[in-house]
Chain A
Amino acid sequence: MTLLQLMFDTLLGFSLLWLAWQALTSPDLFRAIVLFIAFGLLMALTWIRLDAPDVAMAEASIGAGLTGALLLSALARLGSKNGSRAILEKKHQAGSMTENTKNQLPFRLLLMVLLLAVAAGLVYVVLTLPENIPGLGILVEENLESSGVSNPVTAVLLNYRGYDTLLELSVLLLTLLGVWSLGDMTKQHESFPGPVLSTLSRLLVPLLIMAAGYLLWVGAHAPGGAFQAGSLLGAAGVLLLLAGWRPGTRLAGLPLRISLVLGVAAFVAAGMVFILLGRQFLEYPPSFAGVLILLIEAAATLSIGITLAALFLGGRPKFSQPKFSRPKLNQPKSSQPKFRRHK
């Protein structure tokens, strides 16, 4: 039993390292992406072996599923005209120039020395750690009752260290703002999805939404929670976008923006209300904590899901400015998705 576990872990560990190296050094970008997806799968297995199922769930959905789709879509943009290969070849040519390499050599050596120093420092720290440190686990266990949930991970993320999660949500929002500041959504001529893909998305999207609700609910007492649920919602959005659906111009304005900031807004609002009642920021009274955490997580799930899907869209979607004049009756509807049949 223990021998088998040891063999499993050794194989897992070495394949992870090998995959990471291969993905980083692969000259073919597409191959690197597939290796990265495989890396995500093995990483999720590793988190399971490290007894962290919450992280394994996040890795399974974000690492292996969503990031893979995002990278493939980015590669499609790179490769559409100039070709990723052309870009890489240019880089390669620049790298193979002898003068360039000569100039870079001292810099590279310096970098290597610095990196080795950091690595040596880390190894030293790990080796000098006291063997039996109790950690914060006991503290979490002791106060679990007043946190409102019975899953220690959710208790840490949403109650004890609410700041961290609030900032994480803000980071996600900032990422989207960064992407949007680069410009509008590019027009992609999506070909007709065909019967198989539309059936697949019609079957999977409701299931994904349902599973997101399940993970959100189960997060209070078992592995799961807002980030895992949100990533499933995001996957539903990505699948819809890949099947040719686009947010209507009316939807892409204020409704989209409100749902994007809902998570952060609910978190901050919950924190502020209790300041007014004489408590600290983000300090919940134990009797409310369970309900409050569920509400915040529900809002966060929606925002995370929509943010991830919006990131996949890769640009600010066009929206109609609110007009004060009445729209003409004969105007053709522009909000319906248009497909172009592939010839």
Chain B
Amino acid sequence: MEILYLSIALFLLLTLVAGLWRVLQGPTSADRMLAAQLFGTTAVACVLLLAQAFEYPPLRDVALIFALLAAVAAVAFIRRAWAAEEQNDVSD
């Protein structure tokens, strides 16, 4: 089972790295932020799998923190950064 946990964790890390292309590419800021949101979820799954693979329960608390804070940066983006961005920035 450990091999399966670790291979899925590795696979998830690979999807995360592939998702970075969207961060680089954009085109709008929302696309970049959405990618970060997906990375957060991927990291949660990854940490949970590592906790199971190494049989180290405290790691689940790390995943809990990730899950609790998943919204904070994105809310700051919607309320502050994106609201302040000028209209013509979006079109390009």
Whether the pair A8, B9 counts as a contact (CB closer than 8 A) is yes
* Interface-central residue, B7, B43, B84, by most chain A CB under 10 Å: B84
Residues of A within 8 A of B (CB-CB), count: 64
Prevailing SS type, chain A contact patch: helix
Interface size class of B (residues with CB under 8 A): 35 or more
Q: In chain B between 9 and 54, which residues have their CB closer than 8 angstroms to a CB of chain A?
A: 9-10, 13-14, 16-17, 20, 23-24, 26, 29, 32-33, 35-36, 39-40, 43, 46-47, 50
A12–B6 Cα distance when bound, in Å, is 13
Residues of A within 8 Å of B71, CB to CB, are 200, 204, 239
Q: Which of A33, A64, A79, A197 contacts B84 (CB 8 A)?
A: A79
Known: A11-B13, A31-B26, A235-B72. A4 touches B83 (CB 8 A): no
In the complex, whether A251 has a CB less than 8 A from a CB of chain B is no
A161–B13 Cα distance when bound, in Å, is 36
The total number of A-B Cβ pairs within 8 Å is: 171
Residues of A within 8 Å of B83, CB to CB, are 76, 191
A78–B11 Cα distance when bound, in Å, is 38
Known: A30-B29, A38-B23, A239-B71. A69 touches B76 (CB 8 A): yes
Q: In chain B between 33 and 92, which residues have their CB closer than 8 angstroms to a CB of chain A?
A: 33, 35-36, 39-40, 43, 46-47, 50, 56, 58-59, 61-62, 64-66, 68-69, 71-73, 75-77, 79-81, 83-86, 89
- Starting from the known contacts A68-B76, A211-B64, A238-B72, 5 additional A-B residue pairs (CB-CB under 8 Å) come to A8-B10, A37-B36, A61-B69, A72-B73, A83-B86
Binding site for A on B (CB under 8 A): 2-3, 6-7, 9-10, 13-14, 16-17, 20, 23-24, 26, 29, 32-33, 35-36, 39-40, 43, 46-47, 50, 56, 58-59, 61-62, 64-66, 68-69, 71-73, 75-77, 79-81, 83-86, 89
A–B complex contacts, Cβ < 8 Å, 18 sampled: A1-B6, A4-B6, A12-B13, A31-B24, A34-B32, A41-B43, A41-B66, A45-B43, A45-B47, A45-B50, A66-B72, A72-B73, A76-B81, A191-B79, A204-B71, A224-B58, A235-B72, A239-B71
